[in-house]
Amino acid sequence: MTRWSSYGMRAGALVLAAAGLAALWTATATRVVYATQPVVRAELMSTVNAIGQLQPNTYVDVGAQVSGQILRIKVEAGDTVKKGDLLVEIEPSVQRAAVDAGNAQLAALRAQREELEARHRLAVQQRARQAVLVAHGASAQQEMQIAESEWAATAARIRQVMAQIDQIQATLQADSARLGYTRIYAPMAGTVVAVEARAGQTLNAAYQTPNILRIADLSVMTVWTEVSEADVRQISPGMPVHFTTLGRGRDHAVRRWQGRVRQVLPGGSASSGQATKAVTYTALFDVDNADRELLPQMTAQVVFVTAQVDNAVVVPLSALAPDSGPEGPSVRVLAASGQPEVRSLRLGVRSRSEAQVLDGLQVGEALITGESRVGGTPRWLQW
């Protein structure tokens, strides 16, 4: 074998070795694998979450307008009452005594008025008689003056007694009303939701009306919702809202109630005892409760729907680039070539996890949601 043939064989071997190393390196080099999900259409809602408490939409606190001892409370919490039903009886002896005394005074004044009216009729007759006698010179002018004085005096005393009768009648009317207040009747139909007094208790209504019980119409409930100052400007009357309560219903399913915001109260309240006070505002909305599933004081987990889009093109917020840049938010899409492509987006409604795409993506495109590297250094090079 010639020297040149030996050199050729060595060169061929080196070429084959280099080709093998290149193939091995290509097979084991690090490459990027992209996780994708297709761009789809879906319903999208922007919401504000808050906690509320259920209260009857219509209720009345029934109190005592007179002082005295409670004789009987004829209802219990949970009872259903009709308007006009007797609820409470209070000891009426003091009020009845005042009415009896007023009636006695009125009777005495009326008797006095009758006496004065009789005397006044006599004074009228005497005055007329004296006028005739004076005209014929049979009586002195002084007698005429005495008769006129008696006539005027009796008329004045009658007017005085009449004024006293009016005064006693007014007092008697008030005393009779107070006597009526010893029997308390239901001012509205509804359910007794609380009883705050008991039989035998003495009530003092001199300075403040003591509450005895509360009647509520439970067919419509109002949710009093505390909304943080960061979210309250997103809430407006007429906005759809739904809520759930703690626990499950009779069928062991979680039920959701629907409503619309009725009003947002302008006054806020600040929590005390904190270095930075949290200010909340109260939003009210009503809900039908014909089946009586909702009860007063229940906790409501409220969701205000600030915006809603049906059949929207959506992307997860986690797919948006952390630094949007001057052209706005962007995502990466896996092109047909297998390489990532950056897309600038114009977004609309956002939820807590997704955003509506107004421009920049088409349904069905492969949205890159993550990436990983596979492959690495050959095992023999690690030795």
d(CA 265, CA 279): 13
**Residue 224 pLDDT > 90:** yes
Domain boundaries, the chain: 31-44+310-379, 49-56+218-308, 92-180
Give the model confidence (pLDDT) of 80-128 as tens digits. 999 999 999 999 999 999 999 999 999 999 999 998 888 888 888 887 8
Query: What per-residue confidence (pLDDT) applies to 258?
Result: 95
Q: Which CATH number fits domain 49-56+218-308: 3.90.320.10, 2.40.30.170, 3.20.20.60, 1.10.10.2160?
A: 2.40.30.170
pTM, two decimal places: 0.69
State how far the alpha carbon of 81 is from the alpha carbons of 72, 198, 214, in Å: 16, 18, 11
Q: Sorting pLDDT into bands at 50, 70 and 90, what band is 381?
A: very low
d(CA 23, CA 315): 40
Name 342's Cβ contacts closer than 8 Å, sequence gap at least 6.
Answer: 321, 330, 331, 332, 333
Query: What per-residue confidence (pLDDT) applies to 337?
Result: 84
Average pLDDT, stretch 51-67? 94
Query: What per-residue confidence (pLDDT) applies to 380?
Result: 45
**Residue 28 pLDDT > 60:** no
Q: Is the dihedral of CA 277, 282, 287, 291 positive or negative?
A: positive
Residues in the chain, overall count: 383
Which numeric CATH code is attached to 31-44+310-379?
2.40.420.20
Query: What per-residue confidence (pLDDT) applies to 382?
Result: 43
Average pLDDT, stretch 245-271? 86
Give the model confidence (pLDDT) of 336-378 as tens digits. 888 898 988 999 898 888 999 999 899 999 898 888 887 655 5
Query: What per-residue confidence (pLDDT) applies to 383?
Result: 42
CB atoms within 10 A of CB 103: 14
The secondary structure of 62-119 as a DSSP string is EE-SS-EEEEEE---TT-EE-TT-EEEEE--HHHHHHHHHHHHHHHHHHHHHHHHHHH
Give 125 or 234, the one with higher predicted confidence. 234
Percentage of residues in the chain with pLDDT exceeding 70? 87
Same fold, 49-56+218-308 and 92-180: no
Q: Which CATH number fits domain 92-180: 3.40.1000, 1.10.287, 1.25.40, 3.40.50?
A: 1.10.287
**Residue 235 pLDDT > 80:** yes
